């Protein structure tokens, strides 16, 4: 969908962004002078320990929170609220339990005609591998299936950008691995710009074009690591291990247990 030129234009531009939570007795600075550019069609992982403000950052970029300083621009336009062109995906908990799988995917399509809605619902049910479950309710699905459903619901409105906040955090480790390759397959097909928040180093190196490594309190960008390995990535290749270990060191962890 995106042409070559567009690929190098910044899609998301974050400039001088800070966020301070003010309460009566003290102010807590959670994010401090964040600058970041994300190219169109890029998959960027924001990696950091819990409490580093990475979720807050994603919430601000998504328009659900106002920054204390600085701006977020998407296609040059300042973000001042949530927008259907950019969809936020939660850890499977955002699916509506009173709607079927098809009903959930259809949820955001109310601006379209009946025929187009039907086509999109069918297409995205197939894309995420939920064929045969159209009329199933979410509580009858597994965690991984609910996660696929939420991704399908987000993709169905054809957004330019997807925000994923630790989307696989609640899944077991095997399902998590499967979901990562599913996400990559879908991303390669749809070429959305993806901002993916995680605290899992392996996850970030497996998925991302670039990993933004953050430090905690206040959250700052410590380093941005380019992951220059083609997909599908060999998780035992020397380059993969080198990049992963580099990030381990950057965060100050020895990878021995």
Residue number with CB closer to other proteins (34 or 156): 156
Complex with other proteins: residue 47 or 164, whichever CB lies closer: 164
Residue with Cβ nearer other proteins (88 or 187): 88
CA 149 to CA 242: how far, in whole Å?
35
* Residues facing 21 on adjacent strands: 28
Angle made by CA atoms 34, 92, 71, in degrees to the nearest 5: 20
Sign of CA dihedral 49, 54, 167, 95: positive
Q: Which residues bind other proteins (CB under 8 A)?
A: 62, 64, 81-84, 86-88, 90, 93-94, 96-100, 107-108, 110-111, 137-139, 157
Shortest approach of other proteins to residue 223 CB, angstroms? 31
Beta carbon of residue 108, minimum distance to other proteins (angstroms, whole number) = 4
Identify whether the C-beta of residue 13 lies closer than 8 Å to the C-beta of residue 39. no
How near is the Cβ of 81 to other proteins at its closest, in Å?
8
- Taking each continuous run of H as one helix and of E as one strand, the counts in the chain are 7, 10
Q: Whole-number minimum distance, CB 94 to other proteins, in Å?
A: 4
The CB-of-137 to other proteins minimum distance in angstroms stands at 6
Q: Between 69 and 158, whose beta carbon lies closer to other proteins?
A: 158
Strands 27-39 and 10-22, sheet pairing: antiparallel
Quick check: helix, strand or coil at residue 99? coil
Structure tokens at 248: 């381990």
Which one, 53 or 62, has the nearer CB to other proteins?
A: 62
C-beta of 35 vs 172, nearer to other proteins: 172
Beta carbon of residue 82, minimum distance to other proteins (angstroms, whole number): 4
103 burial level (CB within 10 Å; 0-12, 13-18, 19+): middle
């Amino acid at each position: 969908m995106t042409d070559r030129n567009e690929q190098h234009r910044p899609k998301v531009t974050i400039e001088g962004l800070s966020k301070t939570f003010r309460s009566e007795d003290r102010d807590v600075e959670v994010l401090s002078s964040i600058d970041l550019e994300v190219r169109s069609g890029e998959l960027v992982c924001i990696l950091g320990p819990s409490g580093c403000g990475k979720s807050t950052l994603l919430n601000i970029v998504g328009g659900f929170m106002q920054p204390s300083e600085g701006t977020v621009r998407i296609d040059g336009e300042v973000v001042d609220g949530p927008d259907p062109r950019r969809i936020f995906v939660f850890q499977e908990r955002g699916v509506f339990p009173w709607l079927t799988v098809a009903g959930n995917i259809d949820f955001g399509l109310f601006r379209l005609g009946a025929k187009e809605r039907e086509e999109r619902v069918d297409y995205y049910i197939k894309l995420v591998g939920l064929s045969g479950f159209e009329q199933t309710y979410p509580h009858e699905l597994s965690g991984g299936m609910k996660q696929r459903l939420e991704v399908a619901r987000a993709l169905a409105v054809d957004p330019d950008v997807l925000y994923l906040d630790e989307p696989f955090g609640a899944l077991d480790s095997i399902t998590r691995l499967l979901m990562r390759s599913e996400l990559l397959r879908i991303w390669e097909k749809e070429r959305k710009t993806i901002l993916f928040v995680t605290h899992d180093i392996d996850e970030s190196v497996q998925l991302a074009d670039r990993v933004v490594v953050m430090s905690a309190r206040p959250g700052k960008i410590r380093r941005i690591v380019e992951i220059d390995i083609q997909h599908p990535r060999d998780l035992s290749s020397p380059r993969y291990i080198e990049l992963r270990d580099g990030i381990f060191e950057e965060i100050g962890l020895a990878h021995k247990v």
